[in-house]
């Protein structure tokens, strides 16, 4: 009985141990934490909770009207923005590494959603396929986090985002003007077509709607100037709701109001898995995921630089992916990191991600309880708020910096901006990213080769343009930069130009500052060795790092070159490997009485015995 009873228990224990080992192995190799919030709550107390609650309340007062505006930008009913503002920050807080990041609907993603919708076939229902789109965005973000894709955003120029945001701002403004004038547009999809249709409809302008838009603009800037600490957008919309009510009841005006939120519209909405929808939305979802990650990374790094806290880009990407999947399942629009709400969260004194949870909870309570009051908000007033918000996306200082910094930055910004006006936004941002990477590779694929010689004091120094080598048979070439596949051909051609001098017998390559040697560069070096040996000349490598040595050894280049012709870098004396390489070069050309003097980096001379 004992043996029979203990046998299942032993199997259970072994199974538990196996699961524990598997979990520990997964956690050890996992680039993200599956529950990062627990570390933030180890010493959580009442004081911290009150600080987070204050910050969360301030953010919620801003998030509520912003979410309505962003939903309007995306061409969705306002509740879809409110649901995203409620769900996304709560879910993201469980996985985020930063205490300031506030996730939810944003301008950039809203415009991208509009672009995706405008590219749909006429028969597709944008609201019905929204859940699938948002869940696909979340899935791409989570996969990207596990593949550590977020770290690749460092190779994307900030000019891409600046150009995209500027172009998107112009598209937002153009798409909202007709709301302030009181008439509707057709199925315009680009900036040019929207502006054209708007100008054609000017004859149908409703003066009452236009007057209310002017009043909204005046009220907003008055509150901003006189009461800068108050939630200006929320107060402006409340006041305009009263003005609109008076105009409707007592002046007989027919104003267009925001569509009310249907009672019970917030519920679990699993995505409809249709293959044709998936193919139609895949490109837009991928572009949305990339844009959200890019925006979240730039925003998080900016706040991390101000606050001095750690920002894990892959962890934040995972949190953003989880937030989008949850948002998609509960009738929300795509979420990204919001710079305005995150900055407010930081300035309000948030001490942990719990501030985001408090903000989400407040929006969760407000959406179904007071959300029905949005039906009293005039659509023209909300359009004015959207236009003012869009103007805030055009950062003249960053545009000026990008245009004056380098020609590459100016080209990337201008290309992305023009593409955002003339083409769908997903194409515009991918075009900008592609151009940014191409220009980066162009710069990275240009290694610097400088010929060095010994000066009168025995120091290695760059040889003057028309200078003479101290030994005409030996050339010391200092290589600096990346030696990956993109630089291999240029590197080989530059070396061959040096080798055109028929007096040269030995080429010494100093690879101390050369990095990322790969197979293509190794093949170029093998071809160079063969080329030199055909004319009874030799190649010697000095100052190689451990990484360069490892590549040369594994690829067989070391055997082809000859181990006697390869010298590692010395930490104690950077010129020691060059001294040894020069001695080897002297042997190769048959000289036996060469006196080589090289000074140490501490400027203490080290005289070497004649070879």
- Percentage of the chain modeled with pLDDT above 90: 11
Q: Who's near 358: CB < 8 A, 6+ residues apart?
A: 52, 53, 55, 56, 57, 60
Alpha helix segments (H runs only) across 228-375: 232-250, 275-307, 313-329, 339-347, 354-369
Mean of pLDDT values over 113-124: 80
Rounded to 5°, the CA angle 174-175-176 comes to 95
pLDDT at 6: 52
Contact between residue 176 and residue 387 where contact means Cβ atoms under 8 Å apart: yes
Instruction: Tally Cβ neighbours within 10 Å of residue 3.
Output: 7
Mean of pLDDT values over 390-397: 78
Contact between residue 140 and residue 321 where contact means Cβ atoms under 8 Å apart: yes
pLDDT at 306: 66
pLDDT at 605: 37
Structure tokens at 93: 């807080």
Mean of pLDDT values over 489-515: 74
3-state class (DSSP) for residue 135: helix
Instruction: Tally Cβ neighbours within 10 Å of residue 378.
Output: 28
Lowest mean pLDDT among 82-86, 228-232, 488-492: 488-492
Beta-bridge mates of residue 449: 479
pLDDT digits (tens, 9 = 90+) for 419-440: 888 877 767 777 888 888 787 7
pLDDT at 329: 93
Q: Quick one: how many helices (H) and strands (E) in the chain?
A: 23, 10
pLDDT digits (tens, 9 = 90+) for 202-212: 888 989 999 99
Q: Which residue has the higher pLDDT, 135 or 307?
A: 135
Q: What span, in angstroms and rounded, lies between the C-alpha atoms of 297 and 401?
A: 20
Structure tokens at 10: 């032993």
Buried b (16+ CB within 10 A) or exposed e, 439-460: bbbeeebebebeebbbeeebeb
Nearest to 217 by CA among 66, 71, 383: 383
Q: Who's near 297: CB < 8 A, 6+ residues apart?
A: 150, 153, 313, 316, 317
3-state class (DSSP) for residue 509: strand
Task: Share the mean pLDDT of the chain.
Answer: 79
Please state whether beta strands 597-599 and 605-607 pair in parallel, antiparallel, or not at all (unpaired): antiparallel
Give the domain 448-607 fold.
Transcription Regulator spoIIAA (3.30.750)
From its phi and psi, is residue 536 left (phi > 0), alpha (psi between -120 and 50) or beta?
A: left
Length of the chain: 611
pLDDT at 10: 67
Q: What span, in angstroms and rounded, lies between the C-alpha atoms of 196 and 185?
A: 10
Alpha carbon distance, N-terminus to C-terminus of the chain: 86
Query: Cα 152 vs. chain centroid, distance in angstroms?
Result: 8
Structure tokens at 337: 């990191």
pLDDT of 107 over the 90 cut: no
């Amino acid at each position: 009985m004992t043996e029979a009873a203990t046998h299942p228990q032993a199997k259970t224990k072994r199974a538990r141990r196996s699961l524990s080992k598997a979990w520990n192995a997964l956690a050890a190799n996992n680039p993200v934490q599956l529950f990062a919030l627990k570390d933030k709550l180890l010493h959580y107390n009442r004081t911290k909770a009150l600080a987070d609650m204050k910050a969360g309340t301030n953010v919620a007062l801003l998030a509520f009207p912003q979410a309505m505006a962003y939903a309007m930008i995306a061409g969705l009913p306002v509740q879809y923005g409110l649901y995203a503002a409620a769900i996304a920050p709560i879910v993201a807080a469980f996985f985020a590494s930063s205490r300031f990041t506030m996730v939810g609907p944003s301008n950039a993603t809203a415009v991208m959603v509009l672009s995706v919708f405008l590219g749909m076939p006429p028969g597709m229902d944008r609201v019905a396929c929204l859940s699938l789109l948002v869940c696909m965005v979340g899935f791409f973000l989570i996969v990207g986090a596990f593949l550590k894709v977020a770290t690749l955003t460092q190779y994307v120029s900030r000019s891409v985002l600046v150009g995209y945001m500027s172009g998107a701002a112009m598209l937002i403004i153009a798409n909202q003007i007709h709301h302030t004038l009181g008439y509707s547009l057709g199925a315009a999809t680009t900036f040019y077509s929207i502006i054209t249709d708007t100008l054609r409809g000017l004859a149908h302008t409703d003066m009452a709607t236009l007057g209310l838009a002017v009043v909204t603009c005046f009220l907003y800037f008055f509150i901003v100037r006189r009461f800068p600490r108050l939630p200006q957008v929320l107060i402006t919309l409340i006041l305009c709701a009263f003005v609109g009510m008076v105009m409707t009841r007592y002046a007989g005006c027919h104003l267009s109001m925001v569509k009310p939120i249907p009672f019970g519209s917030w519920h679990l909405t699993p995505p409809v898995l249709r293959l044709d929808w998936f193919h139609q939305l895949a490109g837009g979802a991928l572009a949305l995921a990339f844009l959200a990650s890019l925006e979240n990374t730039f925003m998080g790094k900016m706040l991390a630089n101000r606050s001095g806290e750690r920002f894990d880009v892959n962890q934040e990407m995972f949190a953003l992916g989880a937030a989008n999947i949850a948002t998609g399942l509960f009738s929300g629009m795509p979420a990204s990191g919001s710079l305005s709400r995150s900055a407010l969260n930081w300035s309000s004194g948030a001490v942990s991600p719990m501030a985001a949870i408090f903000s989400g909870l407040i929006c969760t309570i407000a959406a179904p309880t007071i959300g029905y009051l949005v039906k009293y908000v005039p659509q023209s007033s909300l359009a004015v708020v959207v236009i003012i918000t869009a103007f805030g996306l055009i950062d003249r200082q960053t545009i000026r910096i990008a245009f004056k910094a380098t020609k590459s930055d100016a080209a990337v910004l201008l290309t992305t901006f023009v593409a955002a006006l003339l083409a769908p936004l997903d194409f515009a941002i991918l075009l900008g990213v592609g151009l940014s990477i191409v220009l980066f590779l162009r710069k990275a694929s240009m290694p610097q080769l400088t010929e060095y010689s010994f000066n009168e004091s025995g120091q290695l120094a760059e040889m003057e343009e028309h200078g003479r080598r101290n030994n005409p048979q030996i050339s010391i070439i200092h290589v600096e930069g990346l030696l990956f596949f993109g630089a291999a051909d240029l590197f080989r051609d530059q070396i061959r130009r040096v080798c055109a001098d028929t007096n040269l017998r030995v080429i010494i390559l100093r690879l101390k500052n050369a990095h990322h040697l790969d197979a293509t560069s190794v093949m170029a070096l093998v071809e160079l060795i063969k080329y030199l040996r055909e004319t009874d000349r030799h190649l010697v490598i000095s100052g190689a790092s451990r990484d360069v040595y490892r590549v040369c050894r594994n690829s067989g280049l070391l055997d082809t070159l000859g181990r006697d012709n390869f010298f590692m870098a010395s930490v104690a004396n950077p010129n020691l490997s060059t001294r040894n390489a020069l001695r080897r070069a002297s042997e190769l050309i048959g000289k036996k009485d060469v006196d080589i003097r090289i000074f140490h980096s501490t400027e203490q001379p080290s005289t070497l015995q004649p070879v």
